Each structure stands twice: as C-alpha cells, then as structure tokens.
Amino acid sequence: MHCTKCGNKTELVVPDGDNKTRQVCTVCGHIHYINPNIIVGILPIKDNKILLCKRAIEPGFGKWTLPSGFMENGESLEQGAKREAKEEANLQVKILHLQTTYSLPKIGQVYMLYLSEIVNDDFAPMDETLEVRLFSIQDVPWENIAFSSVTFALEKYVDDYNNGVKNQCYSNY
C-alpha cells in the first residue's frame, strides 16, 4: 500500500499508543485507519405493507432486500437513507424513527435502517433493482431475503406489528 498523504510505501506496524496493527507510512508517519462502512436504508411501509426490492446486482442477485446502501460523505444518516430509497425504488418517504442498527464486524459494516412511511405512489425498480413489491407481513418471502441484516429488521418489525409495539429500535449485539 502507498501513503495517501505523500505517496511513499506503508508498512504494517502497531503505532505508539495504539493496540492494533495499522498501515503506517515509512516516510511521513501518517497512520492509515481503515474504518467500517456505514450502510443506511429504510424499512418502507404503506397501507400496512412492507416494500421490498429484488436485487439486480451482486451480492444477493435476485433476492429481496430493503432499499439501502453505502452512506456518502457530506450527508446525514437520514439523507443517505432517503437517497438510497430514491435510487433503488423511486421512493419518497417520511422517516418515522431509527428501527435497526446491525453490526457486522467481520466485514466492517454497520447498518442503520429507518422505519419510513412511503408518501408517493409511483415507486418503481431503478438501476440496481429488478422489481419492487408491497408485501403483507404474512407474505414476506423469508426464504429469499438477501441479507441477515434485512431478516433481522423484518423480524423485529413483524414482531412489533403483531404486538402493537411502536417506536422501538433494535440492535443485533
């Protein structure tokens, strides 16, 4: 790896005062931290149904997911979640509350999913989506969900829906 600050080579060392091995520039000493990616998205609902997107890309091609993706620099969690909803399903939403945080330390990802109310009727599959569909909670295609984070969020939503619970946020720790 080369230093993003000065272009010289880096080496794996434990910097002074640290306890983890990091890429450190051999010339300028710049420490290259590799931090988790933040995934933002929504659990969109309309008329007591959940909107799911069938993926047109890997990983999970052809499986169902929630509209979500990598947060961009310069945007808030909520802005990123709304952007992803628009990019994947042409959704306009009203965010109700943070519904799920889900950590995947082994692959360096943290998910932040918001329960959101769909406010438009012209939702449709976009470039990364094969199909969008509203599902009643009884018809969620559990066997064809793309990711563990999505299964977790959907299970918690269905439990809350069945038990009349509102405004809960769940974490997988």
Same domain, 18 and 81: no
Q: In CATH, what number is assigned to the domain containing residue 23?
A: 2.20.70.10
> What is the per-residue pLDDT across 2-26, written as a single tens digit (0 to 9) for each?
999 999 999 999 999 999 999 999 9
Same domain, 84 and 102: yes
Same domain, 47 and 19: no
> Which residue, 112, 92, 94, is CA-closest to 103?
112
Same domain, 67 and 95: yes
Q: What is the pLDDT of residue 168?
A: 86
Q: What order of strands is seen across the sheet that includes strand 10-13? A: 10-13, 22-25, 31-32
Q: In CATH, what number is assigned to the domain containing residue 93?
A: 3.90.79.10
Same domain, 89 and 29: no
Tell if the pTM clears 0.85, that is, is over it: yes
> What is the per-residue pLDDT across 67-80, written as a single tens digit (0 to 9) for each?
999 999 999 999 99
> What is the per-residue pLDDT across 48-59, written as a single tens digit (0 to 9) for each?
999 999 999 999
